[in-house]
Structure 1
Amino acid sequence: MQKVIEEIKALAESTFSVSGVEVEVLPQSGSDRRYFRVFENGKSYIACYGPNVQENRTFISFTNQFRKYSIPVPEIHAINDRSDIYILEDFGTISLLDELEKNKYNSYVYDLFKKSLRSLAQLQVVAGEGIDYNMCLTAKEFGKQAILSDLLYFKYYFLDTLKYPYDKQALLNDFDSLTDYLTKNVDQHFMFRDFQSRNIMIKDGEVHFIDYQGGMKGALQYDVASLLWQAKAELPEDWKNDLLNYYIEEVNQLLDGAIDKEAFVYQYNGYVLIRLLQVMGAYGFRGLFERKAHFLSSIPPAINNLKWFVDNTQMGIALPELDRCLRHCVSDEVLKSFESIRARENSPLVVKISSFSFKQGIPGDETENGGGFVFDCRGILNPGRFQEYKKLTGRDKPVKDFLEQQTKMPEFLNSVYNIVDISVTDYLKRDFESLMVSFGCTGGQHRSVYAADALARYLKNKFNVKVELYHHVQDAKNWIN
């Protein structure tokens, strides 16, 4: 990581003819790409390190094409010789999803959605005409094979985990019918592929697009379905309908012939379903197979999103076995199985979480049942080895950034969450009174403090359970002072 940072500094200083630039490591997302914020003379830029050079070249090629038509994508300021590091325009830290969560469903946010859809239409229809689809990372188009792949993703990683008996051949036949229906007489243009509110940045009241390197040729409906039906956005139905109509009007102004609105909406509903099922498959894979707590907690709202669709939407095609499977997926029985138990107001359970130093020994538990979990954080890279962190603790931002971005702490904590979840769920059901969880590291200063704080937040948010938090080394120091 340090070598990459030094290369970013060198590229930035050469590009902007300055010296002494600062580089901040940004949190890692789900991919292997790493992002950094570069500061020089009061200005900021985004640097990307991507080990997949072809992916980088795809992003750069698409960006250059879009900027010819004034599509709101970032300017590329510099690319290194290996094409594994490039420096971009910085659109800030606020996404459309952030604005929605902050302002809710007001006119300002509604206008941002309209701006997003207007620019999307221009990107797809106008700028997309000159795209070199040979640069696509996977398939050149979102056709039958790609649609079937998304459907099978849902089948293997979500539906099959429910152990629900269904007619496999009948379901595959329905998959074939749906893919034929969605690819018949489709006017294809550039498809963003992941057009969600978290990939739309807001700066000075304007929208800007990022993360379109997975794009390919496909139906217009897919991207607008992705935006309007994003589970986390939870857009009201009147917004979904009005914004879809607005998008169709924008596209009609750009195409040679007007869209057959009825046929367009029917196929749009089909692509909404494809997108919802692809998301369910992703949450199933990340949550049920990789055991990542964030994705597990995302399954209930995704089920509710799918339930509304199943109950209220028609696609103009009969898919009896798929419909039967979907109605089971959105049943109260399945939803309840994924919803976390929440502590009652008078629940007796108290989870006692602490950090400690192994030099001083493992804390004892004087409660009646005693025991609990002890997690050893010493396998995580120690911030205390670095001079700039020696006098800080796991509650200071530089240390937290280091642990989150340059160590295995996120993976470690995901495993802890999965283990502790089992006991907390059981203890709440059985009205147990106490559970103790301790985190130890060498000095009780950095790793164990961070981990204990993180678990306390997690359990409060997920279970609403009472938590007592104590840092044996740090709290003792504060008392002495």
Structure 2
Amino acid sequence: MKQLIDLYKRHYSCEPKDVEELPGQGSNRKYFRLWGEDGSHVIGVIGTSRDENHAFIYLSRHFAKRQLPVPHIIAVSDDETRYLQTDLGTISLYDAIRGGREAGGRYNLHEQELLKKAIRELPNVQIRGARGLDWSNCYPQPEFDMDSVLFDLNYFKYCFLKATELDFHELKLEANFRMLARDLTSEPTESFLYRDFQARNIMVDKDGNPYFIDFQGGRKGPYYYDVASFLWQASAHYSFKLRRELVYEYYQSLSHYTEVPSVRHFAGRLALFVLFRTLQVLGAYGFRGYFERKKHFLDSIPPAIQNLRDILKMDPKIFPYPYLMDVLRRLTELPQFTVIDEPAISRADGLKTAVNDIYKGNPLDGPATFSKYDGKGPLVVHVYSFSYRKGIPEDKSGNGGGYVFDCRSTHNPGRYEPYKKLTGLDEPVIRFLEDDGEIIEFLKPVYQLADHHVERYIQRGFTSLMFCFGCTGGQHRSVYSAQHLAEHINHKYGIEVEITHREQGIHQILPAKDK
């Protein structure tokens, strides 16, 4: 720290007024915000790897010359273990889109526009940033090649696949790994591969413009990699529709910087990198989760496995690696990835709780008595929207279980003329509600409560659960809420959900998904 302050003094001819250590970024570098007497502030970095620091310093200076949106290097120590850079603020793209992420991937228009701005700017860094770049400064290697691909694929094999105890033939798998590595590196490229292009490494200013950080692991490589890394991030929960729109935005932007391949070729190549990136992150989750026991990475495994399931549904001709795909298919069918199960978490009172941590009987307890609804299954969830003027929907199941939520505390689009004849299923009403934001905050605790109840009902073998949403007319807010909760439950748990928008005369069944 003293040497970092000395570097600040040497550049500004005075000591910083205050120094604030910033949260760790999961690397060997430490970040500090240093404040001057005049209220100005810069970021100070202490890094133990000189080579990694050198890569960032070189790339930052090179990108700055090309007028790319990156932090500027202000001062560097002689040994390159410490440096000062411009402060890009406190809001990352990850923070800015938290609402949509926590709502299960339902991003409002503002959040979607932030994502589009970021993905549109990526080709600027990849193509213009590569011009005149001396690749020998990249760390730990100058180019994306067969060796780096095989390293990551074997990282997946040893840190994730073997930890699951799935049976597989090492030589057959290795042969398919080599085929995939050959295909991934088959196209010559002159672009900059960011490598860690994710929402946490993008800062946004007050106008929503993106600025890029943490590109020190970049190298010469194919631009598809960064698109896959960004859009198939497991925890982001991007919908198929939004992901497709963002891929289109990227493709259109790329065409302004370089000649682009046909849409079909682009889509096929991107699919290969989506597969590779998914295996790569599973390797990281396996090491950081299974071996280092870090909860965040354990929690990231189920959505990554779901990404893998989605990949397996693609046209098999895209992936000419039959043994690898068979192993991955068997991997997604393992019991630990098909049952509803979550790791134990610590409560504020220090007790351990978990979804499946249910009291196990002691012989001294005597025989238990059970509800007549236990053990029947499968669960069907009934979701209603209604108008309070016409009363709460009747429970026809006979068990009386469920919830009624009053949506009337949220902003009502029905008060405005353009929306009076529309419903909560129509895009203008959805946009109104999501841009306003009140309905998103209203539904957050509803999702949490519903998830817990659904999970317990599935465990107990109950057959029916009811959720009702009421508003003034049963047309806008209640319809939106009912539809979104129903789709959330069907998508997350794969069970049948019946939706009834009573006042609209709409009845819909979301069928159970094949196990």
* TM-score, normalised by the number of residues in structure 2: 0.65
Give the letter for the 1:92 counterpart: G
Answer whether contact 2:70 2:213 (CA < 8 A) is retained: yes
Task: Specify which of 45, 51, 58 is matched with residue 55 of structure 2.
Answer: 58
* Cα distance in 2 between the residues matched to 1:322 and 1:429: 41
Matched, 1:102 2:104: no
Letter in 2 for 1:113: L
Would the alpha carbon gap of residues 232 and 352 (structure 1) be closer, same or farther in structure 2, given more than 3 Å must change?
Answer: closer
Quickly say closer, same or farther: Cα 1:314–1:207, change in 2 above 3 A. Answer: farther
The superposition leaves residues 130-160 of structure 1 with CA deviations (integer Å, 9 ceiling, x where unpaired) of 2111112122111111111111111111111
1:228 alignment partner AA: L
**Closer/same/farther in 2, CA of residues 167 and 240 from structure 1, 3 Å limit:** same
1:325 aligned residue: 327
Change in Cα spacing, 1:285 to 1:341, as seen in structure 2 (3 Å) is closer
Show CA shifts across 1:310-362 (max 9, x none): 2246562321111111112222613157831689xxxxxx98947xxxxxxxx
1:77 to 74, 77, 100: 74
DSSP-derived class of the 1:129 partner? coil
Aligned mates of 1:293, 1:10 — CA distance in 2:
38
Q: Is 1:126 aligned to residue 128 of structure 2?
A: yes
The answer as to whether partners of 2:153 and 2:279 remain within 8 angstroms in 1 is yes
Conserved? CA contact 1:157–1:282, under 8 Å: yes
- 1:92 positional shift: 1.8
Retained in 1: the 8 A contact 2:272–2:319?
no
Matches within 5 A, 1:269-308: 269-308=271-310
What is the correspondence of 1:60-459 to structure 2 with a 5 Å cutoff?
A: 60-102=57-99, 104-204=106-206, 205-255=208-258, 257-312=259-314, 316-331=318-333, 333-336=335-338, 339-340=341-342, 353=349, 428-430=358-360
Q: 1:170 to 1:333 in 2, by over 3 A?
A: same
Where in structure 1 do 4 or more consecutive aligned residues deviate above 6 Å?
423-426
Secondary structure of the residue aligned to 1:86 is strand
State yes or no: 1:33 paired with 2:36.
no
1 or 2, which has the higher helix percentage? Answer: 1
Query: Which residue pairs with 2:6 in the alignment?
Result: 10
1:15, distance to aligned residue in structure 2 (A): 2.0
Q: Quick one: distance in 2 between partners of 1:329 and 1:11?
A: 52
**How far apart in 1 are the matches of 2:52 and 2:251?**
31
Q: State the partner residue of 1:378.
A: none
Q: What is the DSSP-based 3-state SS (H/G/I as helix, E as strand, rest coil) of the residue aligned with 2:358?
A: helix
- Unaligned runs of 5+ residues in structure 1 are 344-349, 355-419, 433-459, 465-481
Counterpart of 2:422 in structure 1 is: none
Tell me the TM-score normalized by structure 1: 0.69
109-118 or 64-73, which deviates more: 109-118
Measured at CA, do residues 249 and 20 of structure 1 come closer, stay the same or move farther in structure 2, by a change above 3 Å? Answer: closer
Q: 1:188 to 1:264 in 2, by over 3 A?
A: farther
Give, in angstroms, the shift of residue 110 of structure 1. Answer: 2.0
Equivalence for 2:19:
23
2:43 is the alignment partner of 1:46: yes
Cα distance, 1:163 vs structure 2: 1.2
Conservation of the 8 A alpha-carbon contact between 2:64 and 2:70: yes
Q: Following TM superposition, by how much is the alpha carbon of 1:29 offset from its aligned partner in structure 2, in angstroms?
A: 2.7
For residues 320 and 429 of structure 1, the distance between their equivalents in structure 2, rounded to whole angstroms, comes to: 44
Counterpart of 1:12, as a letter, is: Y
Q: CA deviation at 1:427?
A: 5.6
Secondary structure at 2:131 match in 1? helix
- Relative distance call for 1:67 and 1:341 in structure 2 (3 A) is closer
Structure 1 distance, partners of 2:317, 2:79, is 47
1:424 to partner: Cα distance: 6.6
AA matched with 1:16: Y
The CA deviation at 1:426 is 8.3
Give the superposition deviation at 1:264.
1.8
Q: Is the 8 A contact 1:269 1:313 kept in 2?
A: no
- CA–CA separation in structure 2 for the residues paired with 1:241 and 1:26: 35
Structure 1 residues 118 and 50, CA gap change in structure 2 (3 angstroms)? same
Gaps of 5+ in 2: 101-105, 363-447, 453-515
Identity fraction in percent: 35
Measured in 1, the distance between the counterparts of 2:149 and 2:60 equals 26
Counterpart in the other structure of 2:505: none
